[in-house]
Structure 1
Amino acid sequence: MSARTAQERPQRKGSIFALNESNPLVPYLFLLPHAIFFFIFTVYPVGYGIWISTHRWDPLAPTQPYVGLEFYRNLFDPSTPQSQFFWRTLLNTLFFTAVSVPLLIAVALGLALLLHRPIVGRAFFRAVFFMPGILSVAVMGILWKWMFENQSGLVNIIASEYLGLPRLPYLTTEWLAWVPIVVGTVWWTVGFNMTLYLAALGNIPQALFEAAELDGAGSWARFRHITLPLLAPTTLFVAVTTVLASLQLFGQSLIITGGGPTRTTQSVIMYITEEAFSNNQFSSATAMSFVFGLVMLVFTVLQFRIMARDMQGGMR
């Protein structure tokens, strides 16, 4: 090795491309690709959305006049149609969330407990309950709309022909129209939550159940004091993701009921889409999106705090 090569080596170690702990730029170089995409697909769209919501934005107009917080004030002015329909559809979405989320958690946990046992055909039934989740929302919506048709739906045919019950106009009756939406959503998405619970159940040491059984604990006591506390982290994850998914209700209501009757099943995202692409009020729809995003953020934070506190209390 020549003396010149030995002198150049320390300089190469100090270059910005040298991956060693002494180079302060190394962590930022690893973060740079993610930072670029984060800025392009998150920071810039959010910033541009804020700009649109404070201007009377029209892609075909030569100018975009600044209006400040006018579109946000409209959402809190009861005399405006934006306020009336936005809060009404938000209540519809919250109602759907309040009904569907407990079902998606309870049914998923129940199926996981049943299919965790060594029963015949366990793998087959796991696949049966998981497979609806691979369907698109369009296929799911068409299927459940057909099943709950007012006259020719499968549910009404079975109820009238075999059970002697009257046929119910599910799709055209207020609040009753939620039945196919909620039932179809549970059938469609419960398999994913079930899979998460199955994975969590498989990680619980069987020695805990054996020790509790030797101490005289029954099935309910073992479930309450062992299974539920150890499933708490999974339940927190399932609850948060299910709430966020339910708040984004769109395709089910659009395809099954079209948001009717009389906007009873119209979700807030459906109304935001209507405001933007049917009424051509893009700035108003953008303001609604930010307010709705803030509502989702508040619900998520509250849910994390409440369930994290319950988890800490249950493990003491």
Structure 2
Amino acid sequence: MGKRLRGAKSICCCASPRFSSSSISSFSWHEEDIWTEIAKYLDGKSLVMLAATSKWFLRVVMDESVWKFACLRDLQVPDCSETAFKWINLYASAFGGSHSYDFRQKEKHIDWMRIGAFCINSSDAFLMENLICPSKLPKEDTMQNMLNSYGSCVLHNIKTGIWIADLQLVRCPVCDLNTCDGTMQVLDVRHVELFLTEGYQTGSWEYKLIGSHDIRKHSDSASGGIFDIKYLKSPSTAELFNLKSWVGSPNDWQPKAMVTYHAVAINTNLQENEGLHIKYHVMTSGDTGEIVSIRISQQLL
């Protein structure tokens, strides 16, 4: 769409009998199927502008298929789940410029960037901090023992579907001074429906610490990843473990991130330090107890 025809200087109605006056008069500008397909190639802002032109276009643009197509296209994910909310609301939630720290600890927030979106289909997730593909999954009796032994853990009862990933930069959580230079990076992922749920909006759903882990030696980087266990060894996920393909050079201090259909990972190169303090938080829904948001935070010791 939007490309000009090449090779012809002009086109006129008399150039071919196919463009007779009778055929033009019979053409209807209000062909719903045609405009539904055209609408699928517009971004959210353009869709709203088109809907504002007339009641007829409003009805066409508000079709669920249009906003579902736009949402999946702009999030760059496959159609991996059903949803309890309208796709237009999911689109607004995903692309409205909001992030989780707008609702929680806003005074601590410094900056953020959108990484992308991925799908969790299996309801089980693998969290890790070293981005080295494990030969086998950790098997310890508690979450904390898994973190102490492997620097990774397994989560169950994840809400399946589309998940949105952001990288957050926040102030040191143990300091209340606005002038404090201490910072912490957070890999912050959430189910696409989270911001629309009543439990989240009212504040009754809170993040809970499920474990922490210290690396008490110099760390070259602060990294972390969240993977759908079912696709941990898949070819697309393997790209995340090829660090040379996306991680910055040793003197590049800018955070880097990569997302695939079923996983997300971050890496930030570090200058001289004494290690990292890593925390793992989850938020669960009140009715089913499913995990709807996950955070991996990393702070210099």
**Which of the pair has more CA radius of gyration?**
1
TM-score, L = length of structure 1: 0.21
Q: Which has the higher strand share?
A: 2
Q: Which has the higher helix share?
A: 1
Q: Looking at both structures, which has the greater relative contact order when contacts are Cα pairs under 8 Å and sequence separation is at least 6?
A: 1
TM-score, L = length of structure 2: 0.21
